[in-house]
């Protein structure tokens, strides 16, 4: 126990509690400032990517434009690639969070898949987002090659959404059951992501864009196909042998 000036008595527990609350308020303030600075770097990077469609800007160019310092940047990100990774992850996660309620509300899995393809593939053709789509597509390929585990983690929200739609279709009896639902989901994901990347990069193989309706028809034909599927022996990690 100790006496304070007004004669009231405070226990050591009360003093510790007050100190902890003060420290927590200080930490909350510091965290909020850190998030604000981090967001400033990410939003500045988005501006650069949208304008140029390229990821070859330097950290110095970024901090100059953000009116910040190199020291401040490196307090938040170890490199430009770490910043791009955070940006890429945020774009995927926030997009899926925004799309999921609308997709879940669709009357059928077919409607849900159609809406999903329009949101993912349809938007790559919009001029307003062409720059950042191209830049992130190029980084997407780099990430897949150099940091595959992180690449898989970043795409996990989209992969989970595709899987939920496919499993719903299997449950409704409109998607095939002779191929495992997880494999079906992976095939749809690969077709969707591959087509989106090629279009965003302006690298359509024939020079003509695959239309959203054509991609949807292709996926639906594969998901509902009745042709016999040869048995595939899979190893412990799921890979075909």
The domain segmentation of the chain, as residue ranges, is 81-224
Look at the chain and count its residues: 241
Distances (CA, A) of 138 to 40, 131, 196: 23, 11, 12
Say if residues 52 and 14 touch (Cβ distance below 8 Å): no
Secondary structure of the chain as H, E, C letters: CEECCCCCEECHHHHHHHHHHHHHHHHHHHHHHHHHHHHHHHHHHHHHHHHHCCCCCCHHHHHHHHCCCHHHHHHHCCCHHHHHHHHHHHHHHHHHHHHHHHHHCCCCHHHHHHHHHHHHCHHHHCHHHHHHHHHHHHHHHHHHHHCHHHHHHHHHHHHHHHHHHHHHHHHCCCCCCCCCHHHHHHHHHHHHHHHHHHHHCCCCCCCCCCCHHHHHHHHHHHHHCCCCCCCCCECCCCCEC
Q: What is the pLDDT of residue 132?
A: 80
* CB neighbour list of residue 224: distance below 8 Å, 6 or more residues apart: 174, 175, 176
What is the model's pLDDT at position 139? 87
User: Pick from 185, 193, 184, 191: which is nearest to 225 by CA?
Assistant: 184
- Residue in 204, 180, 30 with CA at minimum distance from that of residue 125: 204
Under CATH, which number does the domain 81-224 receive?
Answer: 1.10.357.10
CA 118 to chain centroid, in Å, comes to: 17
Alpha carbons within 13 A on the beta-carbon side of 109: 21
Each of the 241 residues of the chain gets a pLDDT tens digit; together they read 444 444 455 555 555 555 555 545 443 443 444 445 688 999 999 999 988 888 999 999 999 999 999 999 999 999 999 999 999 999 899 999 999 999 999 999 999 999 999 998 876 555 445 778 888 888 888 888 899 999 999 999 999 999 999 999 999 999 999 999 999 999 999 999 988 888 887 766 666 778 889 999 999 999 985 444 444 444 544 455 4
Global pTM exceeds 0.75: no
| Cβ neighbourhood burial of 8 (10 Å; 0-12, 13-18, 19+) | exposed
For 134, half-sphere exposure in the C-beta direction (CA atoms, 13 angstrom radius) is 18
Phi, psi of 2 (to 5 degrees): -145, 150
User: Can you give the pLDDT at residue 13?
Assistant: 57
């Amino acid at each position: 126990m100790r006496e304070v000036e007004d004669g009231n008595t405070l226990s050591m527990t009360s003093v510790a509690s007050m100190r902890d609350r003060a420290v927590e308020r200080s930490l909350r303030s510091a965290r909020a400032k850190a998030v604000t600075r981090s967001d400033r770097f990410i939003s500045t990077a988005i501006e650069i990517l949208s304008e140029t469609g390229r990821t070859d800007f330097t950290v110095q160019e970024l901090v100059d434009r953000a009116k910040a310092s190199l020291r401040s940047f490196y307090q938040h990100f170890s490199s430009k690639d770490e910043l791009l990774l955070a940006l890429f992850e945020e774009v995927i996660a926030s997009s899926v969070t925004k799309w999921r309620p609308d997709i879940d509300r669709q009357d059928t899995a077919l409607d849900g898949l159609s809406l999903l393809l329009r949101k993912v593939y349809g938007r790559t053709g919009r001029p307003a987002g062409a720059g950042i789509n191209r830049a992130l597509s190029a980084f997407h390929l780099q990430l897949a090659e150099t940091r595959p585990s992180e690449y898989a983690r970043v795409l996990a929200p989209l992969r989970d959404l595709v899987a939920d739609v496919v499993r719903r279709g299997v449950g409704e009896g409109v998607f095939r059951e002779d191929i495992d639902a997880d494999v079906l989901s992976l095939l749809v994901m690969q077709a969707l992501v591959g087509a989106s990347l090629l279009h965003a990069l302006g690298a359509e193989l024939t020079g003509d864009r695959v239309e959203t309706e054509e991609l949807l028809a292709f996926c639906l034909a594969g998901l509902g196909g009745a042709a016999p599927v040869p048995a595939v022996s899979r190893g412990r990690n799921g890979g075909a042998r």
